[in-house]
Structure 1
Amino acid sequence: MAIMVGTHSSLTALLRFSAAAAAAAAASLALLPTIASASGDFIDQDLRNLTVVKSPINPDITISYKEPKGACNLALDTQRQITGWVNVPGEKYPINLFFWFVEAREDTDLLSVWLNGGPGSSSMYGFFTGAGPCEVVEEGRRLTTKAREWGWDRASNMLFIDQPNQVGFSYDTATEGTGHMFMDGEYVTPPVSADSFPRFGNDWLAYNGTFSTNNDSSTANTTAAAAEAVYHLMQGFLAAFPKYNPPDEEPLGINLFAESYGGKYAPIFASKWAEMNEARDSGEISKSETVELDLRSVGIVNGCVDDIVQAPYYPIYLYKNPYGVELIGEETFTRANESFSSDGGCKDALEKCRQKVAELDPDHDGDSSEAAGYCVLADSVCSELANFYLDLDPPLSWYDISAEDPSPFPPVWYTEYVQTGGFNEAVGAATNFTQSSSAVWSGFASTGDFEMTAPIPMLAELVKSGIRVTLLYGDRDFICNWMGGEAVSLAIAEAAGEEYSGGKFADAGYADIQTNDSYVGGAVRQLGNLSFARVYQSGHALPSYQPETTFQLFARAVLGTAMDSGAEVDLSSFKTAGSGEADKQLELPGSPEPICWVRSAFETCTEEHLNALNEQTGVLINGVHYADESDWKGGSSTGEEEPSKTMTGGIYTGTATSEDGDSESGDGGDDNENSAVGLLAAKNVVIAVMVGVLGFVLG
């Protein structure tokens, strides 16, 4: 199933935005006069001030970095942070992958990698809205940052990576051009004169900048190709900064967490690392020229892993979810349920896709058009099981069934903040920020990457090899819903050998997630190295909705403790005890009022907002469109606050469940944590919308 994670254009938003307005926006950009050089917001490469070094173990890898002073206020002044790029060798095009490293608040050997999904979405989404160390807030008519209480740097050194090439701050060749505010990832080159365009506030519609080439042949077009590049990034980073490479000491090591399309990234990347470690051990590649990637845990956060397991749960979730909201009728449910296994249905199409890939593209290079055709068709057929969501009235967010579309959560102030000149200079950016790369999206779509791989055997192999695998799912998400996630966990168990198969994992039962001594954050099942959690009152972007619960689950996963409580246990014999079903029924909160972040216009703006932007009415303040200045509440947050004692660290430990008793957690209310509603980018629903001369396919 094709999904787009981040702030990318949604189909439902496009349906709200009139065709005339969309065409006018694109046409007006196309008609701007081309000039040799424009006095816009181009990145001055001389101001980057980077330290450039060659990898001490591989001189073909170059690392360029700096300490981004003022870009992200941390909980402690003693925490080091590094932004930089690893130049990856061996490809037909330049690869400069961006990373942002943050030291933990307390000294630790743990290193955890975070990846957002897409494909083609920046990990700055996770950095600034959920798992990262700081968040962007208003301070009057400017934006700043403050430390995030439940940032994952509370427990681990963190490495956020923008990948594949051309995503976020990663780039192939820095190219001057003009971008369109509504169309993230689409640019006109050479630049056009923004000064000759009717302006509205601060470059609201057309803005000059420095971008990647937006050429889909200059980036990865399969997850396997992306894994190769990220492996080289890890080699370069750990060679340049060896103090952050965890020692060979149980249970500490490197941890890989990925969200949404990360359900495919995580198993394929982890398998690549294991493959290269084996090549080092066998002498196939040099140990002196490589670094072992000592992976200890893999986490998938609301991941779309494999449609052959998860696709049937789209109609099931719509018909029978834990909030008692029947979104489709029994007749529609029955028809959809039967279609999955019918001739020419989703299962049939997937099996044919993977058979052709095995025959014609066994390395998943995306170089067989015949295999790709079968997999593109499979994605189209399987998407039909989710597309009932398009018929809902009113339309709901794909990422939170409690929220009408468009949804304002998580807040995306960062999309404006990262476009400022001061921020770009602080991090050493070579290009303006691209939240969602259309080049990456179209490349992955063209090869059928969405369906070509079967990740569950890879995850099972990780479990068998002693690597902890945890699946974390918010229960209000539709697009990668928790019911499908639970099915993935059971499928992994059946493929993970006799310790987990034959119903042993299912027999473990669900225990309460003890978030703190007064709040139960969800239900978790764990047997040894495999765990699955349903997190209550959370949409797709789990760390944003339930920050404390998600942090505690992350900390327990990377430390190898009991997932229900954080207690130290012997994982070789530990399993949770409780009900065989995570069947708690809850009530949905009300839908929030939308907020129109202009740099995420198609995700967050109503039809009224979009038309007002096109007509140049209203006001823009800190990147948000208001009909009138009186609608702005005024920015009062500050990045200068003294951190509270709870900001500096600390991991909750309760009492682990066992077969002899229940967890001793409290009975905290479901609304103890942030129960707002969520935003991520839209689902590909097999409808292509061409906008003006840009020819932009919005998925």
Structure 2
Amino acid sequence: MLLDIPSLQPQPFFPLHVPLIPSLNTIMKLPWLLSPLTLGLGAVAQSFVSPPTDVEVVLSEKFPGAKISYKQVHNLCETTEGVKSFSGYVSLPRDFIPDAKAWDEDTSGNFFFWYFEARNDPENAPTSIYLGGGPGYTSFDGSSVFPCYVNPDSNSTTVNKHSWNNHVNMLYIEQPLGTGFSYTKIENGTYDTVTGEFTPVVDQEPQPELNVTKLQATLQTAGIGDTMNTTKTAARTIWRFAQVWFNEFPERATNNDELAIWAVSYGGLYAPVFSSYFIDQNKKIEKGDPPVTNSTVLNLVTVGLLNALVDIRSMALGFPDFALNNTYDLPVYSEEVAEMVLGNITASDVGCLDLVDKCRAAVAKDDPESTGTNNDVNEICLKAMQVCFGAVTIYDQVSPYHHFDITLNKYASFPTECETALFNQPWVQQELGVPLNYTRGNNEIEAAFLGKTGDMVRYGLEYIGHLLENGVNIAMINGDRDFRCNWFSGENASLSIPFSEAHQFATAGYQSIMTNASHEGGFVREYGNLSFSRVFQAGHSTGGYQPETVSAIFERTMFRSDVATGEVELAKTPNYASKGKASVRDVKNKLPELIENICYVLQPGDTCTPEQVKALEEGTAETEDWVVVKPAGTKGERVLEGKGGNGDKNSSKGSTQDGSPTTSGGVRLTDSLAFVFLLVAATVII
């Protein structure tokens, strides 16, 4: 039976319920009887983002028209004595970006970066790029093990002792253009946090009255045509960013030329495709045929994938499987739903798998560079994406739990989203040298990638295979509470990668990951240059849940020791294989306690109950530090529970021993909701 999934609006793999985040640099002018103190907004004069000051500008000598503008960050995030960080922009002219020919002639692409020197021996440390997901989602979302935590006041930070920059120089990049602080065109206007609508200021016209959900903002206003529309167009652009930054950023002082790319979620497409492109350009340069004058080899040695979408074809069957058989014994939807989802995946000719094959064949024949300009190819891939992604996102219509953490109710979120307010504080904007408001995501990028070209289904595992055959180290990491990029799907993908040592990898056993002397943080299968890790008690933002374990995996991968113990030097043990059981699906987890959702004024679509959203709209909500305190949140309740926590000793290992909090929640899947779903399913194609 094939489920007729209702037509879906383009939706990012890392969903952006409220795609753009507004300015926080004002006292809100409220039409209600709520004071600034009640709202916790502070007494700051109404204004748009001020232009940055004290910015250093470096005009590129190797790549005419490009430039780097930056400043040292002194009082934010990385406050360890003697450790430096720098933030700024690499600006690329239109003519330097291969897929920007349709842009206005005076338009440039401005990529925001934040560079953190390693806390230990930065002069000899390797460098890692980190990319967020989306598409169009920020790189500062809590998925990585960032140098600092944002405090609940959304106005200060605390140093993270497990940060990835302990021994690695970290370069965080906001991409594609329009993501986060990156931009092509910006304007002043008003932003509605509930609807996600941004209205630019028009001279001589009266301005709308501001309130707690309608705010002044300075935001990216370019349309679909002024950003990338596929992962491959983004790859060509970010390679040029890298050429400018690695060749000419004056504050980069390391003798180690090793480079890594780590990414989360939709970044599971970015990192392999980008890295493969880097390697291909390296080969051209080494042959004396550089693709761009003055370009140099970028010594890419490692790729890391956190709860990543790497290949929808090999991952698809994992979704209904995980829904019923996850290691928390918590079915997230019914067997009937799972059966219909399975039908949508496997149906001959019209199911996800066959449609993906048609898309990839069309891309190979008529759009091999994935420019996204062939409308016939786009249409074929969009059909595949709608069916495949519909089989994933039907979860949001029928499950009471969060798609990024099945132990949470659907309104809760973790890590907390305090960074939204922090990065829009005026003093933080000046400290970072940015001319616009921070945004968690961009719906124009979402529309370009998912609503125009069907980018999500275009790429397979051949990119990871290509990297492995070229000696690149690959680490795949999945938290076992995530549904959207669940570990069953990740495991399926890891076992489907086409490379010469695939058999040896598949026959390696699962070994416990010793986070430290007393804590087992998960399991890993590893052979040669490839590892796949299941991390206990972690949702989609794995590094936010289990920073010590994920940091251990990161450092062991970066410095080529075994993931399980960190004691085996892989350079001296080329045929190393982890030892243990062939499968660890029988190792169960203990369900954590339920918690209430935290409703953020600036992120209502992600974090608030319908009652709280209504109160915000009507002006009756009471808030403190950008959090709605009345109406209160909900813990929800769990249903369809099995025997959570009935596995071996590892089942109870979790966040508390790894230095980060454990969270959970749930709401009831009512008979009426199940009935609505069956009505949707009634219009089926046999």
TM-score of the alignment, normalized to the shorter chain, above 0.5: yes
Aligned to 1:590: 593
2:173 to 161, 165, 168: 161
Q: Deviations over 1:518-575 (max 9, x none)?
A: 1100000000100000001110000001111000000111111101111123341111
The one of 75, 83, 98 aligned to 2:112: 98
2:301 maps to 1:296 = yes
**Which moves more between the two structures, 509-518 or 614-623?**
614-623
- Three-state SS of the structure 1 residue aligned to 2:223 is coil
Paired residues for 1:330-341 under 5 Å: 330-341=335-346
* Whole-angstrom CA distance in 2 between matches of 1:95 and 1:157: 24
Structure 1 residues 426 and 331: CA distance shift in structure 2, 3 A: closer
Describe the superposition over 1:610-635 as per-residue Cα deviations: whole angstroms up to 9, x where unpaired. Answer: 0110111133322212218x99xxxx
Task: For residue 191 of structure 1, report the CA deviation from its aligned partner.
Answer: 5.3
CA distance in 2, matches of 1:365, 1:94: 19
Larger displacement relative to structure 2 (47-56 or 432-441): 47-56
| Residue 421 of structure 1, CA deviation | 1.1
Equivalent in 221, 230, 233 of residue 241 of structure 2: 233
Cα distance in 1 for partners of 2:309, 2:324 equals 20
* Distance in 2 (alpha carbons) for counterparts of 1:347 and 1:611: 41
Distance 1:540 1:464 in 2: 29
Instruction: Give 1:290 deviation, angstroms.
Output: 1.6
In the alignment, what sits opposite 1:635?
none
| Alignment check: 8 A CA contact 2:87 2:433 kept | yes
In 1, Cα distance between the equivalents of 2:488 and 2:287?
Answer: 41
Aligned counterpart, 1:601: 604
3-state SS of 1:597 partner: coil
* Preserved contact between residue 400 and residue 476 of structure 1 (Cα < 8 Å): yes
Corresponding position of 1:475 = 480
- Partner Cα separation in structure 1 for residue 553 and residue 199 of structure 2: 44
The residue aligned with 2:147 is 133
1:86 maps to amino acid: V
May I ask how many residue pairs the two structures share in their alignment? 600
1:48 Cα shift?
A: 2.9
Structure 2 counterpart of 1:661: none
Deviation by residue 1:474-502 (Cα, 9 ceiling, x = unmatched):
0110011101101111111xx111xx13x
Return 5+ residue gaps in structure 2 as ranges: 1-7, 20-30, 32-44, 634-648, 666-686
Match for residue 512 of structure 2? 512
Equivalent of residue 326 in structure 1, options 326, 331, 338? 331
Find out whether 1:117 has 2:133 as its counterpart: yes
Aligned counterpart, 1:676:
662
How far does residue 110 in structure 1 lie from its aligned partner after superposition?
A: 1.1
* Structural mapping, 1:417-496, within 5 Å: 417-492=422-497, 495-496=498-499
Aligned to 2:668: none
CA RMSD in angstroms, aligned pairs only: 2.7
Identity %: 29
- Structure 2: how far apart are the matches of 1:194 and 1:419? 26
Of residues 369, 373, 381, the one that matches 1:367 is: 373
Q: How does 1:171-210 map to 2 (within 5 A)?
A: 171-184=183-196, 186-190=197-201, 197-200=208-211, 204-210=212-218
What are the superposed Cα offsets for residues 621-674 of structure 1, whole Å, 9 maximum, x if unpaired? 22212218x99xxxxxxxxxxxxxxxxxxxxxxxxxxxxxxxxx9998334233
Tell whether 2:533 aligns with 1:533.
Answer: yes
Partners of 1:288 and 1:217 in 2: CA distance: 27
Q: Residue 561 of structure 1 aligns to which amino acid in structure 2?
A: S
Q: Distance in 2 between matches of 1:145 and 1:322?
A: 35
The CA distance in 1 between the partners of 2:490 and 2:661, in whole Å, is 21
Match of 2:92 among 81, 88, 93: 88
1:269-298 deviation line (CA, Å, top 9, x unaligned): 101111211121122227971232111100
Q: 1:346 aligns with which of 346, 349, 352?
A: 352
Distance 1:175 1:276 in 2: 36
Give the 3-state SS of the residue equivalent to 2:125 in structure 1. Answer: coil
Describe the shift of the 1:73–1:242 C-alpha distance in structure 2 as closer, same or farther (beyond 3 A): closer
Summarize the Cα distance change of 1:180–1:49 in structure 2 as closer, same or farther, 3 Å threshold: farther
Residue 619 of structure 2 aligns with an amino acid whose one-letter code is Q
Q: 2:17 aligns with which of 5, 9, 27?
A: 9
Residue pair 1:520, 1:668 contacting (<8 A) in 2 also: no
Q: Secondary structure at the match of 2:151?
A: strand
Do 1:223 and 1:449's aligned partners in 2 also have CA atoms closer than 8 Å?
Answer: no
One-letter code aligned to 1:233: F
SS at match of 2:113: strand
* CA distance in structure 2 between the partners assigned to 1:619 and 1:132 by the alignment: 31
Asked if 2 retains the 8 angstrom alpha-carbon contact of 1:111 and 1:244, the reply is no
Whole-angstrom distance in 1 between the partners of 2:173 and 2:609: 32
Aligned to 1:561: 561
Residue 41 of structure 1, CA deviation: 2.5
Is the partner of 2:158 in helix, strand or coil?
strand
Q: In 2, Cα distance between the equivalents of 1:271 and 1:245?
A: 26
Matches within 5 A, 1:216-227: 216-227=224-235
Report what 2:575 is aligned to: 573
1:77 partner letter: E
- SS of structure 2 residue aligned to 1:169: coil
Rate the CA distance shift 1:245–1:287 in 2: closer, same or farther, 3 A.
farther
* C-alpha distance in structure 2 between counterparts of 1:398 and 1:328, whole Å: 12
Alpha-carbon distance between aligned partners in 1 of 2:15 and 2:430, rounded to the nearest angstrom:
23
Residues 590 and 652, structure 2, Cα contact 8 Å, conserved in 1: no
Q: CA deviation at 1:183?
A: 4.5
| Distance of aligned partners of 1:667 and 1:239 in 2 relative to their CA distance in 1, 3 Å threshold | same
Deviation at 1:361, TM superposition (A): 1.0
Distance 1:196 1:342, change over 3 A: closer
1:446 and 1:374, CA in 2 relative to 1: closer, same or farther beyond 3 A?
same
Aligned residue for 2:55?
50
- Asked which structure has the greater RCO (Cα within 8 Å, sep 6+), the reply is 1
SS in 2 for 1:278: helix
**1:471 is matched by which residue type in structure 2?**
M
Displacement of 1:124 in angstroms is 1.8
**Structure 1 match to 2:676:** none
Question: What is the TM-score when the length of structure 2 is the normalising length?
Answer: 0.83
